[in-house]
Structure 1
Amino acid sequence: MSDQPGRVRYLTVVEVADVMRVSKMTVYRLLHSGELPGVRVGRSFRVPQDALDAYLRSSMSTIAPEQDTERRTS
């Protein structure tokens, strides 16, 4: 797949699971709940790279303060 500007890169469920280091089932749950946007292609799902990046950024910002508190108390 090319990295041309303006083109969206779509990832498979397996690729998303690898990036997030979770199971495929977790990715499917995120897709079905609407937490992670995806596109259905036939019987498969594809996740836009930008959507995955945004999801991970938003997840990090909600977890970071808790981790920071744990580090200070240790």
Structure 2
Amino acid sequence: MRNLDDQPEKPRFYSVTESAAILRMSPMTLYRAIDSGSFPAIRIRGRLVVSARAIDKMESAALFRDEAVDAAEFS
């Protein structure tokens, strides 16, 4: 789907593998964080997806605070 400027729209959700790549971490590490409840994700049947907004909020919070944030705060 494209917007009026003919730019591709940002996805609303990422796979765990895509999210891990964005965060520059191992997908298995991210799966473990999701499983422990310390990283927000949505489970649809057996599939997990991560909200792009959740990642954006974590980034914004880290930049605003000028320090590392704990992803568990956003779960």
TM range (shorter): 0.5 to 0.7
Structure 1 stretch 46-55 or stretch 13-22: which is displaced more?
A: 46-55
When the two structures are superposed, what TM-score results if normalisation uses the length of structure 2?
Answer: 0.61
- What residue ranges of structure 2 are gaps of 5+ in the alignment? 3-8, 69-75
Match of 1:45 in 2: 48
Superposition RMSD in Å: 2.4
More helix by share: 1
Q: Is the 8 A contact 1:36 1:55 kept in 2?
A: no
User: Which has the larger Rg?
Assistant: 1
Q: Is the 8 A contact 1:36 1:52 kept in 2?
A: no
For 2:58 and 2:39, the matched residues in 1 are separated by: 7
Going from structure 1 to structure 2, the CA distance change for 1:26 and 1:51 (only over 3 Å counts) comes to same
Aligned residues: 60
For 2:29 and 2:62, the matched residues in 1 are separated by: 15
Deviations 1:3-35 (A, max 9, x none): 38xxx7010001001101100111112212222
Identical-residue share of aligned pairs (%): 30
Q: Does 1:13 align with 2:16?
A: yes
